[in-house]
Amino acid sequence: MRMQLLALGLAGAMIAPVTFADHAGHTGAHHAVASGEAVSIKDAWAREMPPGSPATAAYLGIHNGTDQPRRLIGVSSTVAEKAELHTSRREGDMVRMERLEAIEIPANGGVELAPGGHHVMLMGLERPLAAGDTFSLTLEFADGETRAVDVEVRGQAPGDAHGAHADH
């Protein structure tokens, strides 16, 4: 399993993380926003994986509309035995994935969980994930707030030379 996770992390090294503002004007069909009093979630998605793949990653944008920073401290999912906050970090020629205890969302700002950067790692998938499927992901914040989000499974992008692992 560790080698598979390392391979997933290495493949994602070629894709740079993006900031929340990079997608602020996106208006495509996959741009669902769940808004709350303080936090909004946008564009939650996961890459379709080949049958038998034990893990995948989920991505989303989180915006904090308050003047106080927020901390995302946990995540759970309806499709995986285990869900964790992770990041990809380049060390020389290697990219390593590491578990994060929390992700800080700045006051009146946002964080993009995106290929090549912060993401939600879904391990021990309970079923194959196919393009067009949706599943639920629950985000847990340090202040006790939880937020359930629908995540859309997407297929490979045209021209994706690295296959299903290219984004992680």
Does the residue 168 lie in any domain?
no
Cα gap 39→28, rounded to integer Å: 21
Residues 48-69 have pLDDT tens digits of 988 888 999 999 999 999 999 9
pTM for the predicted model, two decimal places? 0.72
Does the residue 160 lie in any domain?
no
The full length of the chain comes to 168
Averaged pLDDT, 106-121: 95
| Per-residue pLDDT at 37 | 53
- Classify residue 161 by burial, with Cβ atoms within 10 Å: 0-12, 13-18, 19+: exposed
Kindly report the average pLDDT of the chain as a whole number.
78
Averaged pLDDT, 69-95: 94
CATH number at residue 20: 2.60.40.1890
Domain count, the chain: 1
Does the residue 150 lie in any domain?
yes
Domain with 13, as residue range(s), is 2-24+32-155
Does the residue 81 lie in any domain?
yes
Does the residue 56 lie in any domain?
yes
Does the residue 85 lie in any domain?
yes
Does the residue 100 lie in any domain?
yes
Cα gap 131→124, rounded to integer Å: 18
pLDDT band at 156 (very low <50, low <70, confident <90, very high): low
27 vs 142, which has greater pLDDT? 142
Task: Give the whole-number percent of the chain exceeding pLDDT 90.
Answer: 56
Cα gap 48→7, rounded to integer Å: 16
